[in-house]
Amino acid sequence: LMFGCNAGAMLGMSSFCEFNSWRKNQLLSFYDKVVRVVNDLAYKTCQAKLTKYRDYYFMPQFEVGQQELIDVHFYTYLIDMVSMGKAPNALTQIVHNVNSVLVQFIHFSTQHRNNYDKIMSLDQFMSAKKYKNFFAENFLSAEWFSNYIGLGFSEINPKEKDINSLTQTVFYDIDLMRSQAHRQEFAFEKECINQMARSNLRRFTPMFDDRQNASQKYDVAIKIGHGYTYSKYNTLMHFLNVVECYWQNPDVNNIQILGKDIRTLLVLSCQKIFFEPSHHGYYYYGPFLCRGSFRTEFDLAVASASGSASATVSHSSRNSHNNLVLTDRVYEYSYLKGIVERIFRGANGIRFKSDNAVLNLILLSLLLDFGLFDQYAKLLNIPFMKDLQHEADTRELQVEVANLIYNFDRKHTEDSVTRSKVEELIYEVSYKFFVNKNFPINSSQFRLIQMLNGDSDYQEYVLLCKIYMSLCQINKSIEVDYYKIR
């Protein structure tokens, strides 16, 4: 836990989605210890009717196949609501219970100028009400990191048994570190800590400078030309309707439905999902317009980063309102799962006639993410799935997809498209929205999209990478080979 909280490891975060993903990765390693507390948290949150800013905390499609990620995702939402004082007592107690477990895995400085290089014992920390109460309410929230910074050497030897400020990452008060950073100390440990503060404070503190305000409101607008998917021809519903109508047509292909622009495929395969079964539908959402002193920027827009790790929706604004630009839909999980299931159930056991790889891979991606793979995988017309020993085995499928990606990379070496770059783009599109107007043409995402549009084979490659990301979540990143599968 403390290794991940090192300021050096957190400096690369430039938006809330990266900060929230970091929190989920941190918490997943402790899921077994808190499973009874956070299990089925989505249901508990809906039952408590806690809806404040929940539309901002949607999940990417490739994550919804793992129940642990869903629970942890709702817990991160709960962290922020408790930190702002908007959660009911029952849900606040859940955060307190989880933090009572996590407190055993943190290291906290004495916060005194004469011995801040020393670490508090757990008993000392729990007896200090000032620190204990603030930890219970705010740990892993933006409010916590606006007050405390984790400092320690980036290179940690796991075999080192001695626990001190030189071998571990320790939380220090940011105000204390500001006053100590440029002072010279004769004690080696203090001088090392001061040096780490000098190196990290200036870049770390701006990420959490924006204060959260639970009463902050926002205005909603539809700006012509801003959204890429505000059309009936490049949305998921249009694709599913065509697939259902032409299920037994062998000539239907992806160019007819999606065109040649890779952005349509990316948006189609990277849906945003929320969980509230009583909703049964979707809501419109999009990026936030951030007006600074010298320029206007988007948060939650592809290839744009606000530089702030806290949730933009609750940022205190000089104006009375923030500005939300609607560009796309966010679907409710059970609603979208019901539509996909109805299409496959309506096929009455008949295999999809078209052998178009792109169309079949889109359907495979939906089946995997919404838990329908075991039941309907046999209806897809994908050649490599027919060769699997177990047609509905996700571990075996993960190996096969990894091999296909590897073979594709070996054959296409004329440009700089790699799996890691494509996965980063999928991550970006899954957590953010495409915006046509003022799209940064100097961004790495724009250059990658241009390269992907240069060859139609990359449509299949992008989907294979997306499916592999989903399988990593479903299989919990299990790496398997054929000889391990019985």
Query: Mean pLDDT, consecutive 10-residue segments, the chain of 486 residues?
Result: 84 91 92 88 85 92 93 94 91 94 94 93 94 95 95 72 81 94 89 92 90 85 74 78 93 88 91 88 87 64 87 78 86 95 95 94 96 92 76 83 91 88 95 86 92 92 95 78 40
Number of alpha helices (DSSP H) and beta strands (DSSP E) in the chain: 22, 10
Question: In 3-state terms, what secondary structure has residue 249?
Answer: coil
Question: In 3-state terms, what secondary structure has residue 330?
Answer: strand
In this predicted structure, what is the pLDDT of residue 389?
A: 63
In this predicted structure, what is the pLDDT of residue 217?
A: 85
Among candidates 194, 140, 192, which has minimal Cα distance to 1? 140
In this predicted structure, what is the pLDDT of residue 337?
A: 95
Q: What is the pTM of this model?
A: 0.91
- E-strand ranges in 117-251 read 148-151, 170-173, 217-221
> What whole-number distance in Å separates Cα of residue 140 and Cα of residue 143?
8
Contact 30, 323 (CB under 8 A): no
Residue type, 97: N
In this predicted structure, what is the pLDDT of residue 295?
A: 55
In this predicted structure, what is the pLDDT of residue 485?
A: 41
In this predicted structure, what is the pLDDT of residue 291?
A: 62
> What whole-number distance in Å separates Cα of residue 69 and Cα of residue 63?
7
> What whole-number distance in Å separates Cα of residue 366 and Cα of residue 270?
10
In this predicted structure, what is the pLDDT of residue 319?
A: 65
In this predicted structure, what is the pLDDT of residue 293?
A: 45
Output phi, psi for 219, to 5 deg. Answer: -90, 150
Q: What is the 3-state composition of the chain as percent helix, strand, coil, each rounded to the nearest 5?
A: 50, 10, 40
